[in-house]
Structure 1
């Protein structure tokens, strides 16, 4: 019985190691050809407000974009100044650190095919939301990505939540020019990383 117990533990450990290192090999082999429309890219940026966002939301990411593939071209939709498309290579230059790529678990080919039309009909050109509010006509980066994907996927467990600004209150007062919108609903880039409606598929440099 003791031998069986040890063998069971060994097999469990072996399975765990294989799964971990197998996953690492997938990440190591990841390249842009694996990207699909609707994939979310998270960036760790170094601007001062970016660092404050990361500190408030307890994660390494402060900016986000969403993949839109047109033919052989790969674009990223982002809200920075306004909502617009740019080449993937240009988007990745915004950070010197690896970008994390997430895939919505409920995205399928039919939904991907409707993504581009929805983007151009509803989201392209919307101004950036400097006030980080949820219920106006402007959009900050992660708000844009959440809302366009929610239109297509209809998230169930992944919802907007009250945002906190208390860790860096004085900075946010200066940033907004008034009292921060403490407790108002919102979404941060790090919320995508923690959501069970996405899974990690790799990193891009």
Structure 2
């Protein structure tokens, strides 16, 4: 039996489905594509409620060792095999988007610079407090900053924390857990949904 087929058969059903999805998509993907999902993390519900969007996590696709990987801000910032990333999301649902003029902008040199810029953040801790410092990063902040640094594009509108819907009890509970009574309402934030809705991007999958 071919080794790659044997590996697929031995995987749990969910992981196997994610690997098959990655294989089917492989030829359509480009390095620098952005990928969005509904995370199943403890804070995902609060993010969805505050932003009025199901998309609570995102990353950037890179090719490494012949395999598709997702650059993402988890704990710590790292790259994750795409099939693992897909399997981790709710119902394995995800959306891939690409810069509208990627053919002109994302030249091999620029893609290499995206890769290098992302690599400089590897190992940085995850930012539970959603600050704008480069010392700690959350998912959409990482991708936004990498793209802005390399291409000059601002993918998604920056907002202040006060502009989000903070009224739901689940959101308020998470805010109290993180900040106590001192809410940084004027902190700059980029949310996954603002990137998802950016007119700079077009949907690939």
**2-side partners of 1:69 and 1:175: how far apart?**
37
**1-side partners of 2:117 and 2:134: how far apart?**
19
**1-side partners of 2:49 and 2:26: how far apart?**
29
Cα shift readout 1:8-53 (whole Å, capped 9, x = no counterpart): xxxxxxxxxxxxxxxxxxxxxx713211111111111234420110
Question: For 1:45-56, what aligned pairs fall within 5 Å after superposition?
Answer: 45-56=39-50
2:33 is the alignment partner of 1:39: yes
TM-score, normalised to structure 2, is 0.76
**1-side partners of 2:101 and 2:142: how far apart?**
18
Equivalent position of 2:97 in the other structure: 102
Q: CA deviation at 1:136?
A: 4.8
Q: Where in structure 1 do 4 or more consecutive aligned residues deviate above 6 Å?
A: none
**2-side partners of 1:190 and 1:156: how far apart?**
14
Once structures 1 and 2 are overlaid, which stretch shifts more, 147-156 or 173-182?
173-182
**Where does the alignment leave 5 or more consecutive residues of structure 2 unmatched?**
1-23
Equivalent position of 1:170 in the other structure: 172
**1-side partners of 2:68 and 2:134: how far apart?**
30
**Where does the alignment leave 5 or more consecutive residues of structure 1 unmatched?**
1-29
Could you say what the CA RMSD is over the residues aligned between the two structures, in angstroms? 2.0
The 8 Å contact of residues 147 and 155 in structure 2, kept in 1 or not, is answered as no
Q: 1:65 aligns with which of 56, 59, 62?
A: 59
Question: For 1:82-161, what aligned pairs fall within 5 Å after superposition?
Answer: 82-95=76-89, 96-107=91-102, 108-109=106-107, 110-120=109-119, 122-155=120-153, 158-161=156-159
Q: CA deviation at 1:117?
A: 2.0
Cα shift readout 1:51-88 (whole Å, capped 9, x = no counterpart): 11011111110111110112521111111111101110
Q: CA deviation at 1:172?
A: 2.6
Q: Give the paired residue count.
A: 172
**2-side partners of 1:74 and 1:68: how far apart?**
6
2:187 is the alignment partner of 1:192: no
Q: CA deviation at 1:171?
A: 1.3
